[in-house]
A and B are shown apart, each in its own frame.
Chain A
Amino acid sequence: MRIMDSKQKSTTQKQSLSTLTTYYLLIYNSILTVGWTFILYETIKQVISYKSVDDLWKCHGLWNAIEIPLKICQTAAFLEVVHAMFGLVRSNPMIVFIQIISRVFLVWGVANYIPHAQLSLGIFLAVTAWSITEIIRYAYYALNLFQVSPQLLTWCRYSFFIVLYPLGVTGEILTIIKAMQTIYPEIVRNRYSIVLPNKFNFGFDYFYFLCVVLLAYTYFPTMYKHMFKQRAKTLNTSPSKKIQ
């Protein structure tokens, strides 16, 4: 789940953005808003077609329906690191990178790499949480480029996380656990790992690697609290106090 930028763009700073940058970012943010809307639409379409609990638990066909747009939208987010590096947006590139890497890893390093993990309720939960968050976020950014900042949208952006962030994390963890269950047996494990002996004397056990990744989620409570603080800071400032 994406952490919100604590810095609101001030009007004077926006004026210094060249027109070219503004239109580029407008196109970028618009495409991604549409992309994530499509992903959400396909996700809901799949899920309401399920007839049994088992269908939902395994999320049959969900990954196939959303795979391509999901890979495109999620990987394209790396451009935001570039935007931050070149000052097109006011964010710390390192923070943006860390936020993106966990999602991209789930898409490519878990679901894509270990196909059985695609058959998990976790995918549904994670993608739903991601898509709603991203639709709001990209729409917010797009409008912000023209100094339009509807209060409702801002409220949504800084409030939906309360449900969506834990939902997304749950989904991600479920997916990783499904992947770990799949590759636990040695015959399967070896297909996904680098095994000894080899001439560089290097081994990499993907199961244990996923264990370490799971440990990283212990950071969730801290992040969650941080987002509440950001929410309090943003939503409790009255419009007259905002820097114009």
Chain B
Amino acid sequence: MSAKNQGNTFRLEVLKARGNGVLTSIDNISPDTTIAELKKRVAQQKSQLYPDRQSYRAEPTGKSVKDTQKLSELNVDKTKKIYFKDLGPQIGWSTVFVAEYAGPLFMYLLFYIRPSFIYGSSAGSKPMHFAAHLGAACWTFHYAKRILETLFVHRFSHSTMPLFNLFKNCSYYWGFTALVSYFVNHPKYTPPSFGYAQIYLGLAIFILNEIGNLSIHLLLRDLRPAGTNQRRIPYPNKNPLTNLFHLVSCPNYTYEIGSWLGFSLMTQTLTALLFTFAGTVQMTIWATQKHRAYKKDFPDKYPKQRKAIIPFLI
């Protein structure tokens, strides 16, 4: 660690991590400058590269550095070089959750009222089965819960995400919302084959898994103290639903799959099952990545019997 330098400013070359070439140079920069301050200075010189779009590394390949770190901690004051990556156009989280979660919420309700431009003019007056009402209630609850969690529970490691992801995610969520809600709200909807037993069983499974998912989110929130970057192994707490941590690394995803299985059972609608399947595939990919990261960070201490997402299996 270098001693605090007052007058030891230098000229920093900001190089492009991909390909070669200089992005820009910063004159008279002090070794105590943090990455966050560097980002502001680069943005002054390159106005379209606002700070959230900038990512830095000490080496051309490697992990990006945190905003709180100083140039001296990274040895950049010796090398006088730092590597830059453009994360692309970024979008703030409020925009993200409005589009990704409120979109499906309102779109489902749009189908729920059976507008004539979708179902024809006589559809609105036809009776709607109890299962379809429950479907709308569950769907609304699920996405309202997500919005509230985004606002009050989750802690994000980045304040923005790339714009392209938004387009991709919205297509997925909005597309599947239309596919599921069109059929559940259809005037020709057929109730489940095993009647109310099936409906209530599906509903119970849904509710249980929603609470489970919330329990895991609350646990994860408390796992990392606010403002630190500490990584810790999650363990079950007093809430019995968190005991799933004994068996999997990402029980929140496991519970999410359970919720949608319950929904599919309750509504007996093929597209709901397809939606469940698509989500399962994606979450399994994420869970196995997270699981691998845990095992890498804690090679000795990480519980061996844990799987990524499906107990005993994967």
Contacts and interface: CB of A to CB of B under 8 A. Distances in A.
Interface of A: 196-203
Contact of A200 (B186, B188, B270): B270
A197 B268 CA distance: 12
Interface in B243-297: 267-271
B228 interface: no
B190 interface: yes
Contacts, number: 31
Contacts of B47: none
Contacts of A199: 190, 193, 268
14 contacts: A196-B183, A196-B189, A196-B190, A197-B190, A198-B190, A199-B190, A199-B193, A200-B268, A201-B183, A201-B184, A201-B270, A201-B271, A202-B183, A202-B270
A201 B190 CA distance: 6
Contacts of B193: 199
B29 to A, nearest CB: 46
B-side interface mostly: loop
A203 B182 CA distance: 10
A197 B183 contact: no
B195 to A, nearest CB: 12
Nearest to B271: A202
| Chain A CB within 10 Å, residue with most, of B184, B190, B193, B268 | B190
Contacts of A196: 183, 186, 188-190
**Closest 6 pairs between A and B when the two form their complex, measured CB to CB:** A196-B188, A202-B270, A197-B188, A201-B269, A200-B270, A201-B183
Nearest to B269: A201
A48 to B, nearest CB: 49
Nearest to A195: B188
A198 B190 CA distance: 6
Contacts of A201: 183-184, 186, 189-190, 267-271
Contacts of A197: 188-190
Contacts of A200: 268-270
A196 B269 CA distance: 12
A201 B135 CA distance: 13
B227 to A, nearest CB: 45
B273 to A, nearest CB: 9
A1 to B, nearest CB: 29
